[in-house]
Amino acid sequence: MPQSNQNVERECSLCGKVRGFYEFSASQRRKGDDAACLRCIPEIQNVKPGQQKHDMDTSDAKYIAVSKDIH
């Protein structure tokens, strides 16, 4: 559980989205800036060597657009 002075969000190093603390596994949280979120881990585990295509997750696009309008 995060301390009161700790950041409770972090940016995924793969998809670039800022996600909550619990959207990262414990081992990924220890990686700091190189952490990958729980949504991206299955994606990188299914990639065969030499395959570089990574589809962009746009499930949060509407939220991001509204969030930018507020700021």
Q: In this structure, how many other beta carbons lie within 10 angstroms of the beta carbon of residue 12?
A: 20
Rounded alpha-carbon distances, angstroms, from residue 11 to 30, 48, 60: 13, 25, 14
Tell me what pLDDT residue 24 has. Answer: 93
pTM of whole model > 0.95?
A: no
Q: Report the C-alpha gap between 36 and 60 in whole angstroms.
A: 16
Which residues in the chain land under pLDDT 70? Answer: 1-6, 47-71
Tell me what pLDDT residue 35 has. Answer: 92
Tell me what pLDDT residue 8 has. Answer: 84
Q: In this structure, how many other beta carbons lie within 10 angstroms of the beta carbon of residue 11?
A: 13
Tell me what pLDDT residue 57 has. Answer: 65
